[in-house]
Copies of this chain bind each other. A is one copy, B any other.
Amino acid sequence: MSERIPVAVIAATGSVGQRFVQLLDGHPWFEVVALTGSERRLGQTYGQTCRWVLDEPMPVWARDMPIVPSTPEAANAPLVFSALPSKYATEIEARFARAGVVVCTNAGAYRRDPTVPILLPEVNPDHLDLLPAQRTEHGWPGLIVTNPNCTSAGMTIALKALDQAFGVRRVLAVSMQALSGAGYPGVASLDILDNVIPYIGGEEEKVEWEPRKMLGTVREGRLELAEVRLSVHANRVAVRDGHTVCLSVECEQETGPEQAAAVLAAYQPPAAARGLPSTPDPVILLHPGEDRPQPRLDRLTGGGMTTVVGRLRRDPLFHLKMVVLSHNTIRGAAGGSIYNAELLQKQGWLIPH
């Protein structure tokens, strides 16, 4: 590949938008040519209008890029990454797809659409087989591919490894989610200092459903949801980045911690997902520490793309108990979308440029 593919980041100023900008800095395949934002930011540069909240400084090339409108014409790229809020995503992302653009989105707007994959390359790259139906159904020359909700991402990767080996029947998941998952300004400091908020609007419904789609089967271009049933409790805690999920898992086949550990440690993604720039190394890290994973110490494993599993032990009710950690704005958002785009490119779904 002698030239990098031009890409745009849609809604680039928010916390997920910033992660896109950061992770695309120096990307070997993609080159950011446009950053879009809301009307009140037009006419300003990214450096002027963006309240950068990440630890590492804003990439130098981004500072002087002008904010352009969130339209296909202004973005002017065959591939866009969308960090739009869901309420705007429905309309704006369709407009891009209609204009022939490939949209890799973090928004939830199209996740329930049966022709739009919720894609985790480590889990279900074959769900790209839904795309012909998407084109037929919607009549878009472009495409929309979503990544899952940030909490669903890591736990579905762990569940995939177990499902493949033992069949996963029932899952009880309790999340302790990071503040960055709520965007910026998001959670008020007075609400979370010395506190836990045992509620995140809409989250439990998403996490009880999305893994069923991702673990489902595409047959003849149609998706069948997986049979697994999930119960989710979602909590917000005073952590900046990294969602921690306690899982109790019941399998079809009898299993125990030793067998499950072997399966998790040996997990390899489907061949299509290997060797891409964002392929996590390892995909799953089985952490040996008795008190791990912890968000502060483990969230950046594999550059924030690795799913870290620990405390694997027998569950007195189901088969297995464990803790799963995943970086919510990297693996669970921007990094996941970029990984999806890499898979699309490798599989030949990107419009030639």
Contact = CB atoms under 8 A, between A and B. Distances in A.
Interface of A: 15, 52-53, 55-57, 170, 172, 174, 176, 179-180, 184-199, 208, 229-231, 233, 235, 237-240, 244, 246, 248, 290-297, 300-301, 310-311, 315-318, 321, 323
A198 B287 CA distance: 13
25 contacts: A53-B191, A55-B296, A57-B300, A170-B317, A172-B317, A174-B174, A176-B196, A184-B190, A185-B190, A187-B190, A189-B192, A193-B194, A196-B239, A196-B244, A197-B291, A197-B294, A198-B293, A198-B294, A198-B311, A199-B290, A199-B292, A199-B311, A230-B316, A231-B315, A233-B246
A221 B238 CA distance: 47
A295 B190 contact: no
A198 B244 contact: yes
Contacts of A248: 172, 231, 233
Nearest to A188: B185
Given A198-B291, A231-B318, A321-B231, A190 B246 contact: no
Given A184-B188, A190-B180, A316 B196 contact: no
Please give me the 6 A-B residue pairs with the lowest Cβ-Cβ distance, nearest first.
A185-B188, A199-B291, A174-B174, A195-B296, A233-B246, A231-B317
A319 to B, nearest CB: 11
B237 A238 contact: yes
Given A296-B55, A316-B229, A179 B190 contact: yes
A232 to B, nearest CB: 8
Nearest to A174: B174
B190 A188 contact: no
Q: Which of A172, A194, A296, A318 has the most CB of B within 10 A?
A: A194
B231 A235 contact: no
Nearest to A285: B57
B15 A190 contact: yes
Contacts of A189: 179, 186-189, 191-193, 238
B172 A237 contact: no
Contacts of A317: 170, 172, 229-231
Nearest to A300: B55
A318 B233 CA distance: 13
Contacts of A15: 190
A129 to B, nearest CB: 29
A311 B52 CA distance: 18
